[in-house]
Amino acid sequence: MSSFAKSKLKAARDAIGKKQYEQARQAAAQVLEYEPDNYTAHVFLGLALLELGQHEKSEQLYRKAIELKDDQVLAWQGIAKLYEQTHRWDDLADTLEHIMQVFAKNEDATKCAETLQKFMDIRRQHGTRREVIRALFLYLPDSSLYPVLSSLPPPDATNPTSTAIFPTQSAIYNSLAVYEELISLTEREEEMFIKSEFDKRRTRLGGPKPEQLRKDIGIEVWHSSKLPALYNDILNHPSTSDELRRATESKLIRYKQQLFLALPSTDPEKRQLGMQLDEMVHGIVTIGIPDEFAWCMWFEGRDSDTVGTGHAMNLTMITELDILEGLGLAYLKQFIELFPTSTLTRMLTGYFAYCKATYVDEGSTEELTFAVDSDPYGIILAILSDSLLANMITARVHLQELEYPDAIKVAENGLELIRRYESNTARELREVRKAFHIILATSFVHLFPPKHHPRALYFLNDVLKQDPTNVDGLMGKGYIYQYTEKWEEAEVLFAQAAKQLPDDMDKGVEAKEESAWCLSRIHADAGVDALKAVFETLNDIEDRDIDKARCLWRIGRCYWDLGGESREEAFKYFITSLKHNREYAPAYTSLGVYYSEHASPPDPTRASKCFQKAFELDAREAEAARRLAEGFADEREWDLVEVVARRTIDGEGGMGAGMEEGDGAASGKYLPTNTWAWKALGVVELTKRNYAESIKAFQVALRADVNDQLSWLRLGEAYSKAGRHVAALRALGRAHELRPDDWMCTYLIGEVQRQTGRLAEALTSFQSILDVRPAEAGVLLSVAQTHLDLARHERLTGFVARAEQSFISCVDVMLVAIRESPGYRGVAWKIAADALFELSVISVFADENNVRAAVTMVSELIQDQSSARLAGLFKFTALSPDNPVTGLNALEAAVAAYDYRITVGSSDEAALPSSLYDLAVALHEWILKQPSGTTRQVSEAANSFLIQALQKEPGNVRFWVALGDLHFSQKPKLSQHAYIKAIEVDNKNVVAWTKIGLLYLYHNDIDLATQAFTRAQTLDPDHTLAWIGQALIATANGHEADARTLLEHAVSMTADVHMADLQFALRVLAAVNDSNSVGAPTTDRLLPAFFVLGRYFQRCPADACGLHVFGLICEHLGKLEQGVEYINRAITLLEAAYEEKEDPIVERQFVIAHTNIARLRLLPEDAERESQILRVQAQYGSGLASFKMGDLQVAMAAFQTALESAADDRVLRGQVTVLLAQTMWAIRTPEFRESAKGLLLDCITSDPENLMAINTLAGMGILTEDDGLVDAALSEILSLPVEQRHELDPRRDVTYLLVQHYLGLGDYDRATKIAQKALHVEPSNLQMRREVASLLLKQGEREAASGHPSIALAQPIQSQRSAQKAIMLEPGQLRNWQTLAYVRAQEAL
């Protein structure tokens, strides 16, 4: 280094010392200019720039210095300072870590420790948990810094401030605190990582289940975790306390266990890890360390139920503690002592107390009694965890208490825990599984046998396959064989069980008794001896009265089966059995059988009491129950029959065989053991209308006997009444197969077919019954009802003629039913009246004779039976053979029938409200067909009937709606009240909402009507009237397009509202006729209206307005002949209506119809001619317009084109020629006027009878005072005969022209003569008479003029009155006003 550099560096150092950083910067910069690689200059310049705030350049210089000398600490310390000032903590940490390595390399322990402490502070304050963990590992022996740091002197605990590195010294010389902090941080870090990874991955598509996902993430973390090593370091650390060691060991066990459970069973590491866990847990249990988790693991992993503990237990119930012996009773005692507050301890203590057990330790004379402060049974049931041991204890206690469903639930839960344990640990618990199987098998065997025996047999076979000598398994299978009466197989099994327990006074004696009982079923004598031997054994045991009673009863049954005199011996044993136990039910049953069948004489009263006692004690006594039910049925005590049936069903387990719905054990179907009880219950529930329960009962009964025809029949009936018609038909079909001649089955099938709308099939079914039983009243009623339903359906679908015939058939059948069965007259008259009421809707009958006959027969039956209800209000319109039968005649018959129904059914209070309602509705319909103002009393009567019906059934919505309809137009407030009451009764009744909406609309309350219709549409979007109401509102608001759309939707529905069809068609036609409308082609728009009107006329064939509209629509669709036909029918109807009432509206409609039919009757060639006429008119009109605009050349060209279009049509050409001549005359030039005359002369020459040309030419002659032209024009027509001339000149224009011509010449006499001549030819022509009188007056011949009656000239007063009268008669005639003015002028003279 040169002296220059040294001097500058010295100057830079001095400046830095004096904090003159700018001078230091300059000096260091000068050095670098001279020596670019000078390390010290870079450091000084970096420091100066740092202090000057130029951090980026300072960092660059420090980095350059580090590159020059990496092992020098000065530059590292400088850049560390920079990072600290700029808060770049990660860079600072990395820098400090490098500095530590430099100090370690230089073996500067103190500097290294100081840097490490600063590094730790930075990581704790600004680092993550993982970075802190990594920093803490620097204190441990595996750290690269540990060799240097271990050279530090031991810490002086008495003077911790004597050195700045005391924390590092403490950590090096006692690392236990570091290990504890590392474990705490690592545990937390792993926990948070697993949670975050789970949240991140669980939403991935196709990912594993959450439980497996947690395992997968755990394996990833736990495989690479340092926690096990850290736990071991603490366990091996000399400073670890016993408490910490136990806690750490417990953590290590839990850590290994969670990895063990997460590993798949195929992983070899799983087995090795399991062995490590077993060793650790066994060590904890062996030395009695109070780690409850480890102890529970040890208990859960034990797979043994054998004795071999080396300790003694004084047991009152040894069989109940077998399950604990394999766990080691000493260990259980030690567990209770170590963990007195544990839930498992509480359960174990409760179980020992339940078993009344005491524990005796070897070498001790003291007994330990397990006592609890409450009911042991309650303690056990209150504690049920996911522990196998807890589930085992609870299941055994339930089994001991004979609570088989609960034992099954707990045992199944235990099996699920075993499955989960084996899946997690890859280890089998065969013995524990077998213990649960035994509990399940035993429970299934004794739970309402034999319903669960198939499941029990599955578990028993598994147990016996594993342990062929298992007593529980042998006895359970023996019981199953007992119930199937396989006595020999059962006896063998019970004998084997008895051999396994020869001296046992519990199961051993039970096995011997069951073996003897089975033997008695094979050989009665041998069985009796064996049972007596068992009784001798039981007789020496106290508190076994129930077993003694059972054994004695079985001995008695053996004697009973021997028959003869032995039955008296059996009676003695039955009595002796009850002496040992007065509540042993089978003995009472046997006594009842004895009293009813063997006693002499029979004692039915005592037998009944015995049966009742047996059934009271045990509902499973099916024989007693059946005999009781039969006795009650004979006495007609049906309620008692139901009670017996229900209790019998409960005794066999009910619908679920003792298992709650949803239990795995209840998933199967069980055969009933008492079919008669299920049948009885099904009938009772069917009678009570509990159809679902009835269906279940019959289904259960059919499981026992699938060929029971009566059960199938009742099941089908229950299905039908429950609305399940498909199932009903299947059930009834099966019943019909079993017994084809059962007419009741056929009847029920017909009823179901009727309810499902298969009406033709229903009629066939009913008719097949009537062929055999023609007078069966119920079938006749069903046939009539089916005809009525069919008729309604046919009318709704447009088959009006068929509907008419079906209505008549209904009436005919009902008349037969009335004659055959008077008891059903009320129902019969109801159906007949309904048919007549529906028939009255048809306006024109297809078969009038049939209708007349039906109405006549009904009228003859009831014409003399009119009640006081209709007296003076209503009477039949006489049916005249000359007059056609109308709907009004049918309606009157319906009213009378409804009235007569009330008379014949007056005693039926239940049907009276409906009867009154029907009568009121029919009267209301009759009122609507009567002239207004003539039905006040009838309306009041209908109102009275409805009020009476409502008084009896105020909650009937139909009654309220009918009341509202009755007063719809006359009493709106009452009508509104009725509709609102209907809504209050049922606020979801769409009919009531619609009717009140129509009421509001009728009375112009649009807002309320809109709300009501909207509510109705919300309740039922398919209610047609609501849509029609909305359409009417749209019309009222002027929204015709919306109204048409709403009506289109309404007519697409199935409801029969024919006026909607007509209104829709009218609006469609109006839209098509609207010249401004733009939309689909006319045909596409009119076709829906065409089809809708077709449907409308099937219901209303006599509606003139509809026929007229239909004809116009046919015209648009090109169906001219059909259109003419419909309008002709409309004209006929309008003519008849006008002759009846002479209504001017009808007259106007008649005229319009004639106009339309005239247009329609044009033949195609007429239409072509009309088109030619229109074309010529248009061309002429165009020419005339051009003429008016002054364009003469264009006008003449258009006139010429019109002539060419007229072609050879003489009439049309003549008219065009006249019009052209008139136009040319209007030009007023001599040339054009002469041309006009020439055109007319040529026209007259070619068509001498063209009156228009003649008159026009004559007029021109008159205007030009050319007499010759006038004579030339008129001479031809004047020479014709009068009749022909009048035919050519109906308006008498020639006479008028001549009169005007001569008047213009002043020749009044000639004009008067011409007028008088014309009047002479036509004396009835009033106009000509007036003309003559006027001419005479002008000549002053008042007397002559007064001779004409049309002139008011007799007297001034009379003349004035006559003129005024003429004005009154024809005020639009100007001549009448002129006459009055003239008369008054004459009077003034």
- Give the number of other CB atoms < 10 A from CB of residue 576: 16
Report how far residue 675's alpha carbon sits from residue 697's, in angstroms, rounded to the nearest whole number: 9
Axis crossing angle, helix 1192-1206 with helix 1164-1188, rounded to the nearest 10? 170
Report how far residue 862's alpha carbon sits from residue 903's, in angstroms, rounded to the nearest whole number: 11
Query: How does DSSP classify residue 153?
Result: P
**Partner residues linked to 1023 by β-bridges:** none
Question: What per-residue confidence (pLDDT) applies to 1037?
Answer: 85
Query: How does DSSP classify residue 884?
Result: P
Amino acid at 923: L
Whether the bond into 450 is cis, omega within 30 of 0: yes
In the numeric block, which tokens belong to residue 323? 């399950």
1257 contacts 1269 by C-beta, under 8 angstroms: yes
Closest CA to 1273 of 1282, 1263, 1283: 1263
Local structure of 470: helix, strand or coil: coil
501 contacts 511 by C-beta, under 8 angstroms: yes
Amino acid at 778: G
Amino acid at 1385: A
Residue with tokens 């100007």: 1374
Global confidence as pTM = 0.61
Residue with tokens 């847990």: 281
Query: How does DSSP classify residue 152?
Result: S
**Partner residues linked to 313 by β-bridges:** 359
Amino acid at 783: V
Local structure of 1092: helix, strand or coil: helix
Local structure of 65: helix, strand or coil: helix
1000 contacts 1029 by C-beta, under 8 angstroms: no
1261 contacts 1237 by C-beta, under 8 angstroms: no
Report how far residue 48's alpha carbon sits from residue 1369's, in angstroms, rounded to the nearest whole number: 131
Local structure of 360: helix, strand or coil: strand
Question: What per-residue confidence (pLDDT) applies to 1079?
Answer: 44
- Which whole-number Å values give the CA distances from 657 to 402, 405, 617, 623, 624, in the listed order? 15, 10, 20, 19, 21
Closest CA to 476 of 499, 501, 502, 450: 450
The pLDDT tens digits for 18-61 are 888 888 888 888 888 888 888 888 888 888 888 888 889 888 98
**Which residues have CB under 8 Å from 252's CB, separation 6+?**
228, 231, 232, 235, 280
Local structure of 749: helix, strand or coil: helix
839 contacts 851 by C-beta, under 8 angstroms: yes
E strand or H helix at 1104: helix 1104-1116
Local structure of 1072: helix, strand or coil: helix
Report how far residue 621's alpha carbon sits from residue 626's, in angstroms, rounded to the nearest whole number: 9
Helix then strand then coil, in percent of the chain rounded to 5, is 75, 0, 25
Residue with tokens 């209150």: 382
Where are the alpha helices (H) located in 689-824, listed in sequence order?
Answer: 691-704, 709-721, 725-738, 743-755, 759-770, 777-796, 800-820
Report how far residue 893's alpha carbon sits from residue 916's, in angstroms, rounded to the nearest whole number: 16
Range 763-786 burial, b when 16+ CB lie within 10 A, else e: bebbeebbeeeeebbbbbbbbbbb
Name the stretches of the chain with pLDDT < 50: 306-321, 323, 359-360, 362-368, 662, 664-668, 1076-1080, 1349-1354
358-360 and 367-369 beta bridge pairing: antiparallel
In the numeric block, which tokens belong to residue 171? 């950590």
625 contacts 647 by C-beta, under 8 angstroms: yes
Residue with tokens 């011997």: 512
780 contacts 774 by C-beta, under 8 angstroms: no
- Which whole-number Å values give the CA distances from 1108 to 966, 1085, 1104, 1115, 1139, in the listed order? 32, 18, 6, 11, 19
Question: What per-residue confidence (pLDDT) applies to 1353?
Answer: 43
**Which residues have CB under 8 Å from 787's CB, separation 6+?**
763, 806, 807, 809, 810, 813, 835
Amino acid at 137: F
Query: How does DSSP classify residue 207?
Result: P
Report how far residue 904's alpha carbon sits from residue 1083's, in angstroms, rounded to the nearest whole number: 58
Report how far residue 1273's alpha carbon sits from residue 541's, in angstroms, rounded to the nearest whole number: 156
CA 746, 751, 757, 762 dihedral sign is positive
Local structure of 657: helix, strand or coil: coil
Local structure of 1191: helix, strand or coil: coil
Question: How many Cα neighbours within 13 Å face the side chain of 342?
Answer: 22
Question: What per-residue confidence (pLDDT) applies to 1341?
Answer: 62
Report how far residue 1270's alpha carbon sits from residue 1280's, in angstroms, rounded to the nearest whole number: 16
Question: What per-residue confidence (pLDDT) applies to 665?
Answer: 43
3-class SS string, 892-923 = HHHHHHHHHHHHHCCCCCCCHHHHHHHHHHHH
**Which residues have CB under 8 Å from 105's CB, separation 6+?**
71
Question: What per-residue confidence (pLDDT) applies to 6?
Answer: 81
Report how far residue 1223's alpha carbon sits from residue 1195's, in angstroms, rounded to the nearest whole number: 10
Report how far residue 1234's alpha carbon sits from residue 1224's, in angstroms, rounded to the nearest whole number: 9
**Which residues have CB under 8 Å from 1073's CB, separation 6+?**
none
Question: What per-residue confidence (pLDDT) applies to 550?
Answer: 92
Please return the burial class of 324, using the count of CB atoms within 10 Å of its CB with bins 0-12, 13-18 and 19+: buried
**Partner residues linked to 369 by β-bridges:** 358
In the numeric block, which tokens belong to residue 883? 């007059």
CA 759, 765, 770, 775 dihedral sign is negative
914 contacts 870 by C-beta, under 8 angstroms: no
Residue 705 has phi, psi (to 5 degrees) of -145, 100
Residue with tokens 């366990």: 235
Query: How does DSSP classify residue 368?
Result: E
